[in-house]
Structure 1
Amino acid sequence: MTTTDDRAGVSVAVLGTGIMGSAMVRNLVAAGLSTTCWDRSAEALAPLAQAGARPATSVAEAVRDASVVITMLPTAEAVRSAVLDDGAAEAFASGAVWAQMGTIGMTATAELGVQLARLRPDVRLVDAPVSGSKGPAEAGQLLILASGPIDAEPAVRPVFGAIGRKTVWLGKAGRGSAMKLTINAYMAILIEGVAEASELADRLGIDAAKLGEAIEGGPLDAPIADAKLHKMEHGDFTPEFPLQWALKDVDLALEAADGATLPLLAALSRQWRAAVAAGHGGEDVSAARLALSGRQ
């Protein structure tokens, strides 16, 4: 439980204000935490400024006074460019905690740790990707898969408490990323299963609503499967978790498998790549349905 005393003196910088980062900023402000935000798109910062966050014109400006810095950027390249390539790491406050919360994979996370230790040994890196998409992010109900130095836990506790329903600590930095890739591999297979079941139902003349009704409340029911089935049924592919980033996570999982045979995940990667190539990368992951039967 986060208390007023926990929040005292805590200042947060959020780098990356897309679907997830912007929701984090709003929840941090609502929790009474001093919050600065930065994004490559200045337009993305305007509504957050209206919500009470302080927009920064550079990463260095954003992190300078922050006790906790969150990166919520989509790729390892984006994280590296924002924090390391532009020299912003040197601007971190002494003793700050860097919470790397986007999904960038195990290799990149390890490399960031090495680079940070060389540049700023006083800054602690917490590898803390989140499980959840737009809805849970907006509600402050993300699952945070944290790993890293345990002495950083008190510093991030009020921050994680404002954006998540639960934080699970998993050991040394990198274990959070390992868990996130495993969870997202499971999720991807589940969603592709929903897409293909929906396609089969269509071919057999079964109404998608009846399919959902038959599954609801039984042992095959799962909240995310139900939500994605409904989005497919209504042709609503408004992004909650964009397909291009879901594909990125699948490919990171395959890379991390280190030669293990994962035939279903490999086939799924090829299938989703076709959907992204057809122009659906910015749509919700449920747009995987459109890659079936030439429906792109």
Structure 2
Amino acid sequence: MTRIGVLGLGNMGSIMASRLLAAGFDVWVGNRTAARAERLVGAGAHWSESGDAIADQVELLITMVADDDALLAVTTGESGILARRHPGLVYADMSTVSPDASAAVADAAERAGVRYLRAPVSGSTTVAEAGALGILASGPQDALDEFDQAFTAIGKRVFYLGQDDEARIMKLALNMLVAQTVVGLSEALVLGERAGLDWQTMLDVFSDSAVASPLVQYKASSLSKHDFEAAFTTSMMTKDLDVALAIGRRTGAVMPTTALTQELLRAACGLGWGDQDFSAAVLMFERLAGDQLTNDR
């Protein structure tokens, strides 16, 4: 039985750990707050106090954390995964972080004798629960091969993009399009709402038209109920777009649409919707239009 660790038990990390348990892996888990691990430990996972300790116990290790600072803390920080040598360990970070942070982790992994795979995911928590995530991988091919069975348990397709941090760029490019699509959908919904169109009818049309996509269809389901429970928070999407814009400035890419989308989502955070799903952009457009219809619909 392959021993695998999952460090970072937010919404996505917890789902991954659950699916790995169900697939028969010997799963070790860790998190800043132990309470997040109670359900998983009750289901048969093992608790570990730190990244360094979990690295001693497993053959494969996954991290799923919020941002650059969190990644560097669990890898290169005191008691981090890469704070000392763990020869033979194969490590995949599945977070959405900057290439700069990822490069720092790559240097530390090399010093620690650890093979390091970048493997951010495409898909919501609902998609993760179904084991249907897309996995964007870059790094050593042999490290990807070691994760074959684990990735089969949590995803439906793996895209191998190269030897370095290509997966990081691809994930940010994906999130740019995801954010722009949902912000545009939100703006269109409020136009129709102000002009007297039926909310559900609009969603039905968008979901079965030239603009339909899995994303639009998925968001239409929650928007039909005005349900903004976070599959991916507004503040996290704003963070990802900030990272993408920084790369654009460095590479000379012109990104006005992304810049505007980020400012709109930042405004939504400022209005109190940072911890809600980023489709709460529709609430901001309603507010700007002078509507207070959310509780009446």
Give 2:295's aligned residue.
none
Task: Give the whole-Å Cα distance in 2 for the aligned partners of 1:279 and 1:218.
Answer: 32
Task: Give the whole-Å Cα distance in 1 for the aligned partners of 2:91 and 2:41.
Answer: 22
Runs of 4+ in structure 1 off by over 4 angstroms are: none
Task: Give the whole-Å Cα distance in 2 for the aligned partners of 1:161 and 1:139.
Answer: 12
Give 1:212's aligned residue.
203
Task: Give the whole-Å Cα distance in 1 for the aligned partners of 2:5 and 2:191.
Answer: 47
Q: What is the CA distance between 1:91 and its match in structure 2?
A: 5.4
Paired residue for 1:284, among 264, 277, 282? 277
Q: Identity percentage over the alignment?
A: 33
Moved more, 47-56 or 185-194: 47-56
Indicate yes or no: 2:42 matched with 1:50. Answer: yes
Give 1:112's aligned residue.
105
TM-score, length of structure 1 as denominator length: 0.92
Give 1:75's aligned residue.
67
1:195–1:229 CA contact under 8 A, matched in 2: no
Aligned length: 286
Task: Give the whole-Å Cα distance in 1 for the aligned partners of 2:29 and 2:284.
Answer: 36
Q: What is the CA distance between 1:140 and its match in structure 2?
A: 1.2
Question: Which sections of structure 1, spanning at least 5 residues, go unmatched?
Answer: 1-7
Give 2:119's aligned residue.
128
1:67–1:93 CA contact under 8 A, matched in 2: no
Give 2:153's aligned residue.
162
Q: Deviations over 1:161-182 (max 9, x none)?
A: 1111111111112011111111
Give 1:4's aligned residue.
none
Task: Give the whole-Å Cα distance in 1 for the aligned partners of 2:85 and 2:287.
Answer: 50
Q: Deviations over 1:33-88 (max 9, x none)?
A: 11111111111110111222112222222221211111100101001111211142
Q: Deviations over 1:123-175 (max 9, x none)?
A: 01101100011111111111000110112122111111111111111111201
Partner of 1:35, secondary structure, is strand
Task: Give the whole-Å Cα distance in 1 for the aligned partners of 2:211 and 2:239.
Answer: 27
1:28–1:159 CA contact under 8 A, matched in 2: yes
Give 2:178's aligned residue.
187
Q: Give the aligned residue type for 1:160.
A: F
2:203–2:224 CA contact under 8 A, matched in 1: no
Give 2:15's aligned residue.
23
Question: Which sections of structure 2, spanning at least 5 residues, go unmatched?
Answer: 293-297
Q: State the structure with bigger RCO (CA 8 A, min sep 6), 1 or 2.
A: 1
Aligned-residue RMSD, C-alpha: 1.6
